[in-house]
Homo-oligomer: A and B are copies of this chain.
């Protein structure tokens, strides 16, 4: 008997159970065609229809304007950390980056190998527990673009506002909060996301890029990393990760059936309110993040005595609450409550937290 548990993993993360059931039912024979999606030529009519439908559904969900390309790539956000400067910096340009935590610093470190990177604002002075307000940003005049990380998966801070950067292209790593609520894509030059948090399985990277930013790749940019080559070839310059693309398409259809990103905003809003209320209302648990900057998706919390961490995790597992251990660089706990984590999972976690506090508080 199959028994599905509640999975709070930061990534690869939970997928909607209905999506996994469809994938299972179609795994050896897709729509009576006699073969698996994994066994189809990426240029077959069948797979092209899957791929195009997935793109259209994502465009619908985020109301992506027609002057943006949607690319289905590989390599994850870490590869984008190089790919973005290789495509947007020219031979020796400069760019502004905002430092709000571990992932934005990784982006800065890699980009610095390809040009001059100006850290226009840093959360360091807030111990990374808050996001520096726009009035503190020192944007430079000659930046090719401005990069930031709307949600820091490890630190647990999230922008609830979109920066104003004039006519500079705004570039954002939306790996961990894409599709969690509505987003005005037209405010951005480029958005990118590893799929394995809020889209689908790992091994797929979605890039949404405005047309005017294409065709400017560095002369040494690998062909496979040139956005314009991917755009000209419908993300099929070579064989794409077809199964991950297909499964992400199933997630997009599931999201539409749930009511789209507006519905997810309501559900995710309720989920995070319940969990932060449980943390803030207790003597045992705490979250250090400035309230206005708290992440909806990744909620780190500590126990007052870290000797309780182990019993807390053991008890959680016994109750089918998986992967609550915090990132090794932060310690404590972290609950990642992406779209596919149901409100029932948060209810079960909150109930367990209260029960544990009663026993150990």
Q: Are B23 and A240 in contact (CB-based, < 8 A)?
A: no
Copies per complex of this chain: 2
Bound form: Cα–Cα A4–B39 in Å? 11
Bound form: Cα–Cα A243–B82 in Å? 25
Q: Are B40 and A28 in contact (CB-based, < 8 A)?
A: no
Q: Are A237 and B78 in contact (CB-based, < 8 A)?
A: yes
Residues of B within 8 A of A79 (CB): 74, 222, 224-225, 238
Bound form: Cα–Cα A32–B322 in Å? 13
Q: Are A223 and B82 in contact (CB-based, < 8 A)?
A: yes
Residues of B within 8 A of A225 (CB): 79, 82, 222
Q: Are A13 and B39 in contact (CB-based, < 8 A)?
A: yes
Residues of B within 8 A of A122 (CB): none
Q: Which of B2, B29, B196, B202 contacts A4 (CB 8 A)?
A: B29
Q: Are B242 and A202 in contact (CB-based, < 8 A)?
A: yes
Q: Which of B5, B35, B86 contacts A34 (CB 8 A)?
A: B5
Q: Is A83 an interface residue (CB 8 A)?
A: yes
Residues in A1-19 with C-beta less than 8 Å from chain B: 2-5, 7, 9-15, 17
Residues in A105-119 with C-beta less than 8 Å from chain B: 110, 113-114
Residues of B within 8 A of A190 (CB): none
A82 touching B222 in the complex, CB below 8 Å, given contacts A14-B39, A15-B36, A20-B27? yes
Q: Are B38 and A201 in contact (CB-based, < 8 A)?
A: yes
A238 touching B74 in the complex, CB below 8 Å, given contacts A4-B35, A14-B35, A110-B222? no
Q: Are A322 and B28 in contact (CB-based, < 8 A)?
A: no
Residues of B within 8 A of A240 (CB): 202-203
Task: Flag A67-109 by CB within 8 Å of B: 1 or 0 each.
Answer: 0000000111111011100100000000000000000000000
Q: Are B35 and A7 in contact (CB-based, < 8 A)?
A: yes
Q: Are B242 and A203 in contact (CB-based, < 8 A)?
A: yes
Residues of B within 8 A of A14 (CB): 35, 39
Q: Is A21 an interface residue (CB 8 A)?
A: yes
Least Cβ–Cβ distance between A203 and chain B, in angstroms: 3
Residues of B within 8 A of A78 (CB): 223-224, 237-238
Q: Is A149 an interface residue (CB 8 A)?
A: no
Q: Are A41 and B75 in contact (CB-based, < 8 A)?
A: no
Residues of B within 8 A of A42 (CB): 12, 202
Residues of B within 8 A of A202 (CB): 38, 42, 239-243
Bound form: Cα–Cα A10–B75 in Å? 24
Q: Which of B3, B41, B204 contacts A9 (CB 8 A)?
A: B41
Q: Is A323 an interface residue (CB 8 A)?
A: yes
Bound form: Cα–Cα A243–B23 in Å? 13
Q: Is A194 an interface residue (CB 8 A)?
A: yes
Q: Are B13 and A23 in contact (CB-based, < 8 A)?
A: no
Q: Is A220 an interface residue (CB 8 A)?
A: yes
Q: Which of B77, B86, B220 contacts A114 (CB 8 A)?
A: B220
Q: Are B242 and A35 in contact (CB-based, < 8 A)?
A: no
Closest chain B residue, CB of each to CB of A237: B78
Interchain Cβ contacts under 8 Å between A and B, 19 examples: A3-B32, A9-B40, A11-B239, A15-B36, A15-B38, A17-B28, A20-B38, A38-B201, A38-B202, A74-B79, A74-B241, A76-B238, A83-B222, A110-B222, A201-B243, A202-B243, A222-B225, A243-B243, A243-B244
Binding site for B on A (CB under 8 A): 2-5, 7, 9-15, 17, 20-21, 23-24, 27-29, 32-36, 38-42, 44, 74-79, 81-83, 86, 110, 113-114, 194, 196, 201-204, 219-220, 222-225, 237-244, 247, 320, 322-323
